[in-house]
Amino acid sequence: MKIMLKTDNIKFSYNKTNIIKGIDLNIKKGSFVGIIGPNASGKSTLLKNISKTLTVDQGKVYLDKKVLNDYNSMELAKKMAVVPQNTEVNFNFNVYDIIMMGRHPYQKRWSGLKQEDKKIVKNIMELTDTLKLKNKLINELSGGERQRVIIARALAQDPDVLLLDEPTSNLDINYQGEIYGLLKHLNQKFNLTIITVSHDLNLTAQYCEELLLLKNGKIFAAGNAENVLTEKNIKKVYKAEVLIKINPISGKPFVTLIPEKNDKYKNQKNKDFKVHVIAGGGTAQKFLYKLDNEGYPLSIGVLNIGDADWQAAKELGIETVEAPPFIEITEKEINKNRKLIKKADLVILSDLPFGHGNLANLKILLEFPEKKKILFSNLNIEKRDYIKGKAAAIWNKIIIEDENVILLKEKDDLIKKINELENMEMER
């Protein structure tokens, strides 16, 4: 495949501060590249270097095999179009005039509007859905509409490469998708090479084929979204704890910030009443967040990796005993669980279903008759028992023999009950 844009160990400094510290790029024709990175990582500067707004101090930029600095401004405008970060236009041209300005590199000074220019602009307005805005003034438009107009102007330059700096930074979520959807369409239908700079990891991951993660003026990672957006990379570059999920619709990685570990200012009202949760299948998800918010020290086990409760526990940074899915819980994991239960003041068993794999989670309660336990009776045990009565038998034994069992009908009553238990414990 043809290389459209290449940089050769480029460096750039601004006021003696090194911003770009040696970057090599090889961007193929027709690729859709997203440059990401934290603030001050040099991503906007890199874009300015490859658009000739800022000339590199060292190294060379090649656009279509020719050195960037050898292009005169008219030639360059025919090859490369740029949508800047700030598209605010503080004067009132109408949309048609603005888009027509994109034809400037092709127009002679005194020639009027050519039929060809008119035709191209009309096609582009149809493509970008700006035809209906034709006679509107630029300042009457919404943010998303204005961005589409500016993109249309860039397309009117009939470029081979389109560069965009934070194309959606001021837009609502619906416009964000719309703009990136348009870019994707342009990329696929016209084989237009597109390079975006964005701080939005998820949008970039959803739409761009290749990601470029910058750190301190250098490329930290490059490749497809799955390889670049890993928990490890993000921790190293952004110093943030995140959870990477997979967007079920696009199959692309989706970054979620883990609030507990990053929030330094969170109210530290940690209570002296430890709660251990036995759950699975997303049955505890909701009350885990509530308990965490109340400030109870939590532990949880044994959970299958990837399970909804497991994800919630990870997000909250709860101490978790985890096991690989689809196989029976091993003695090692049961032991860990046992240790946590011993330390706890209260054990909660959520209304999870039981099978061979997790029966040990139920059995273990028999070992702790002296612990306070909360169980739920909202779902009949027979309906949750997938091992022909084995689970129901153990359940009934606990309910009948254990004096420390509290049976709740509603999960909503849980917090209230725990508060009561905590107060009783304190009085003692």
Partner 1 sequence: MTEYKKNILVYLVAVIVLILIGFTALFIGSSYINPIDVVSYILSNNQISASTAIIISEIRLPRIILAFIVGAGLAVAGSVFQAIIRNPMVDPYIIGISAGAGTGVMVALFLGIEISVLNLSSIPVFAFIGAVSTVFIVYQLAKVGKKLPVLTFLLAGVAMSFILNSVMSFLMVLRTENLQQLVYWLMGSLAGSSWSDIQMVLPYFLAALAVIVFYLKDLNILLLGEESAAHLGLNVERTKIILLGSASLITASVVSVSGSIGFIGLVVPHITRMIIGPDHRKLIPLTALFGGGFLLVADTAARTIMAPMELPVGIITALAGGPYFIHLLRNKSKNIW
Closest approach, Cβ 90 to partner 1, in A, equals: 6
135-161 burial: b if 16+ Cβ within 10 Å, else e:
eeebeebebbbbbbbbbbbbbbbbbbb
Least Cα distance to 199 among 34, 339, 392, 6 occurs for: 34
Q: Which residue has the tokens 């999870």?
A: 352
CB of 196 to partner 1, least distance (A): 15
Q: State in angstroms the smallest separation of the CB of 175 from partner 1.
A: 20
CB of 77 to partner 1, least distance (A): 3
Quote the least distance from Cβ 318 to partner 1, whole Å.
Answer: 49
Residues 6+ apart with CB under 8 A from 49: 7, 10, 12, 20, 55, 56, 61
State the Cα–Cα distance between residues 82 and 49, nearest whole angstrom: 12
User: How far is 397 from 154, CA to CA, in rounded Å?
Assistant: 73
Question: Closest CB to partner 1 among 80 and 277?
Answer: 80
Q: Looking at beta carbons, which pairs linking 376-385 to residues 24 or more positions away fall under 8 Å?
A: 376/349, 376/350, 376/351, 376/407, 376/408, 376/409, 376/411, 377/407, 377/408, 377/409, 378/351, 378/408, 378/409, 378/410, 378/411, 379/351, 384/351, 384/352, 384/353, 384/354, 385/353, 385/354
Question: What is the binding site for partner 1 (CB under 8 A)?
Answer: 51-53, 72-78, 80-82, 84, 86, 89-94, 97-98, 101-102, 104-105, 107, 109, 139, 154, 157
The residues, any chain, with a CB within 8 Å of residue 107's CB and separated by 6 or more, are: 114, 117
Q: Measure the CA angle with vertex 220, ends 216 and 224; round to 5°.
A: 140
CB-nearer residue toward partner 1: 105 or 353: 105
Task: For partner 1, give the closer residue by CB, 96 or 287.
Answer: 96
Comparing CB distances to partner 1, the nearer of 94 and 230 is 94
Nearer to partner 1, 82 or 359 (CB): 82
Q: How far is the CB of 201 from partner 1 (least distance, A)?
A: 26
Output the smallest distance, CB 115 to partner 1, in A.
17
Q: Where are the beta strands (DSSP E) in 258-402?
A: 275-278, 298-304, 319-323, 346-349, 372-376
Instruction: Give the 3-state secondary structure of residue 78.
Output: helix
Q: Considering the complex, what minimum distance in angstroms separates the CB of residue 164 from partner 1?
A: 12
And the tokens for 309?
């409760």
CA distance 219 to 365: 52
Q: How far is the CB of 55 from partner 1 (least distance, A)?
A: 10
Residue at 9: amino acid letter: N
Compare residues 110 and 326 and give the one whose CB is closer to partner 1.
110
Which residue, 39 or 86, is less far from partner 1 as judged by CB?
86
The residue among 51 and 337 lying less far from partner 1, judged by its C-beta, is 51
Q: Which is nearer to partner 1, 164 or 303 (CB)?
A: 164
